[in-house]
Chains A and B, each alone.
Chain A
Amino acid sequence: MRRLVLRPLAVAGSQLAAVAVTVFALTSALPGDTAVVILGEHATDEQVAALRAQLHLDVPLWERFVAWSAGVAHGDLGESLLTGVAVSDEIARGFATTTLLTVLALAVVIPLALAVGVATGLRPGSLLDRMLNGTIVLLNSIPEFALALLLVALFAVRLGWLPATAAGASGWSLAARPAVLVLPVAVLVSKQLCALARQVRIGVSEADGAEYAMHARLHGLTERTVVFRHVLPNALGPAVQQLARAVDGLLGGVVVVEAVFALPGMGSGFIDAVMARDLPAVQGYALVFAITTIALNLLADVVSRLLVPQREVVA
């Protein structure tokens, strides 16, 4: 119990702390500050100095970090320097849009990766295997930004089948306009499909060639039973780990996709916060992303461990 729960939690806590310190230091190291960004290009030095004092930017960095950390310990992410709105509210504004994108992308990529991985893993080297592999590698090698532009050029501008951008729609209301989400989700999926399907394929082909699978077949079990009862459970351990990494990748892809399709989600908010040197907001977003990533990796660890005993029993 201690090994399964307490230690991972301690590790996660120290990872979060490390993220908080690193992001704070990196953002502070960026040239310029919020006062300069807010006042724009015609500000005088006096105006900038006054605003700095007003925003407490003249307080030493470590003091600001301590104050911010104390707030976080009480569940308070502080206020945006730029707008004075609570950072948690700012993040919440983009939450629905980003969650919708990510969850939809996962709902598509998981079954698709399983299907592709199983189909190719059972017949490695077949024509189907080579075709799917080629397609996936091609999709994976195009940068998200370029792929998004190409899809828009083809399906929105030339054929007119799908909207080119969200054009002002955001949040849960997007669910009522599924056409808007097709292209963004397609871009997100295409980037994650490769690694995930490949992981499933490797696991499946290994498990399929393993002794216990042969054994099961010799005992006259149907192919379906062999695959679903014996091959897949053993193949999925590493794939679950890869899935956690895929979610990290999705969060990165979301930043690009939100920009190209004008979807105002957490990715755009994060970029805006960095551009504006809005330290509390940057920290807030970074924490949310870090917590998501760490939690998913923990979960993946637990799930793949739960799959391990099966392997021992069968083998």
Chain B
Amino acid sequence: MIDVSRRSLLKGALGTVALASLAGCGGAAGGSNGRLRVAFPTSGARESLDPHTSSLFVDQARTKALFDTLVGYADDMSVVPRLAESWEPDATGTRWLIRLRNARFHDNRPVTAEDVLYSYRRIADPATASPARQQFAAVDFAASRARSATEVELVLPAPNFEFPSAWGAPAAEIIPAGTTDFAAPVGSGPFRFVSFQPGRPAVFARFDGYWGGAPTPAELEFVPINEGSARVAALMSGQVHYVHDVSANSASLLQGDGRTTVLAAPHGTMQAVALKIDRPPFNDPRLQQAILSGVDRQGLLDVALSGHGQVGNDLFGKGLKYYPQDLAQRERDLDLARGLLRQAAADGLEFELMTSAADPYFESAATLIAQQLGEIGIRATPRIGPAETYFSDIKKSGVAAHTRTATLPLTTFMAQRMRGDAGANNYTGYRSPEFDALFTRAMSTADEAERARLLTDAQRLTRDNSGLLVWGFSDWNVAVSSAVSGIRAAPPNSLDWARFDHAVLV
């Protein structure tokens, strides 16, 4: 995400002062004639409408308007039917039969089993470089087939009773079989393509043949505005109806403004510090524990997130399906932390804490954590790295780094970040045969209650041993004009996030 204010043109304080004066009253009204205008940060010339390569939120939002997935995610990341009307696994969880609903593409062709197979093959192809590739890489496409125009059979090499989660992943949209060019794409989503150029506005129009019913807005326009304060100003002055990605500061200011409504999706983004436990000093479990006990999570929430969020309990996915709600909250315990440091003969431990402007909360959180750990004699030095390459940098180097993950199904997170074979995406270097065995058993368990129990056991393990210090969850803020109804607060990647087909312009 590019953001000029992060290009150190100006730091927080001045921006806040200038923005505070934005929170005035009165102003311009935006007439729209049935065109809903939504503002997102964009990535300029490299944008495309290929749904299988979309990685930024703006790509996903455009993709959602034009295309559909087989299933969507509810707010807790459980799956709900979309293009798939129903599905059932065989007894082993390796063979899945999916029945499609009666839906049409924008060119009036029906959505068929062949389209599904073509789409998933393309996503699994390494040449496509799709962010959803991992979810479909294991599918045995030679054995998978279309049983009829509306029935698809997908075959897996190993049991996976959570496989439907993959069908709702970002970048897992269904495109017409044979599509190779995305200059003017055809999908089955609520809006049809009208015009688009990379880095410039995109205009889509209502698709009357949409299976979910024709959308309310006649037209939908995506307006690229990278600068956060400019997005807010555009909303307040009536130029746009919806702005994506509003900082906690702006959200506080907007709450006092009658022309707009801030929609805060709870448990939006996990905020964490990844301690690398495959190398000194954190290969000593006592030092991991000392850090986990030395951090004041409530203090981080109050200051770094300005209270816009929830405290974390060293686990991803608070509020999501399969999250163990009944685990006791980890509290700050300075005596315990000091004792552990003494035991490990590591008084006055020093390490660098990697941080960057890649996320708006990283830098202030790093400063606070350094202060908090200073109280038990640990010298953590925040080191600010370049935002553009930050997430690939922290995989390779350092011993502790701030990280974040947007909402996604819990089992997806565990498979991609915790399992021993997760490779570089396992930021902490956690390798636990015990966890892997539990997780594999859970995935091959047909009974959902039993699966939940196994997943809880697996999460207990990671909470204490994986080196992931989850200190909080930052709210995901968007803001809408008071002249619009029918848009609700929803976590990123969920079905109702950036969903505009029910928006009503008053």
Contact = CB atoms under 8 A, between A and B. Distances in A.
A163 B199 CA distance: 20
B10 A157 contact: no
A145 B46 contact: no
A122 interface: no
B138 interface: no
A157 B236 contact: yes
Contacts of B239: 163-165, 167
Q: Which of A30, A82, A149, A158 has the most CB of B within 10 A?
A: A149
Contacts of B39: 167
A15 B238 CA distance: 47
Contacts of B225: 165, 167, 262
B46 A149 contact: no
Given A156-B237, A163-B237, A168 B200 contact: yes
Given A165-B239, A168-B201, A262 B234 contact: yes
Given A36-B389, A38-B46, A157 B199 contact: no
Contact of A168 (B45, B223, B229): B223
A156 B230 CA distance: 11
Interface size class of chain A, counting residues whose CB lies under 8 Å from the partner chain: 35 or more
Given A157-B233, A158-B26, A268-B44, A168 B21 contact: no
B157 interface: no
A43 B126 CA distance: 11
A165 B234 contact: yes
**Residue picked from B46, B200, B423, most chain A C-beta under 10 Å:** B46
A167 B160 CA distance: 46
B125 to A, nearest CB: 13
Contacts of A82: 45-46
A67 interface: no
B131 A30 contact: no
B9 A143 contact: yes
Contacts of A277: 388
A32 B392 contact: yes
Interface residues of B, number: 58
Interface string A26-38: 0000111000111
Contact of B234 (A37, A93, A159, A167): A167
B45 A275 contact: no
Given A259-B226, A260-B230, A47 B129 contact: yes
Interface string B117-145: 00000000010010100100000000000
A41 interface: yes
A152 B226 CA distance: 16
Interface of B: 2, 4-5, 7, 9-10, 14-15, 18-19, 21-22, 24-28, 37, 39, 43-46, 55, 126, 129, 131, 134, 198-201, 221, 223-227, 229-230, 233-234, 236-240, 385-386, 388-389, 391-393, 416, 423-425
26 contacts: A31-B389, A37-B389, A39-B129, A41-B391, A42-B131, A44-B423, A82-B45, A152-B22, A153-B18, A153-B233, A156-B233, A157-B237, A158-B21, A158-B26, A160-B28, A165-B225, A165-B239, A167-B39, A167-B234, A168-B223, A259-B226, A260-B230, A262-B223, A262-B224, A264-B224, A268-B226
Interface of A: 30-32, 36-45, 47-48, 80, 82-83, 85, 90, 93, 143, 145-146, 149-150, 152-154, 156-160, 163-165, 167-168, 170, 256, 259-262, 264, 268-269, 271-272, 275-277
Given A85-B45, A167-B37, A264-B200, 13 more contacts: A82-B46, A145-B5, A146-B14, A153-B18, A157-B22, A157-B237, A165-B233, A165-B239, A167-B223, A168-B224, A259-B4, A260-B227, A260-B230
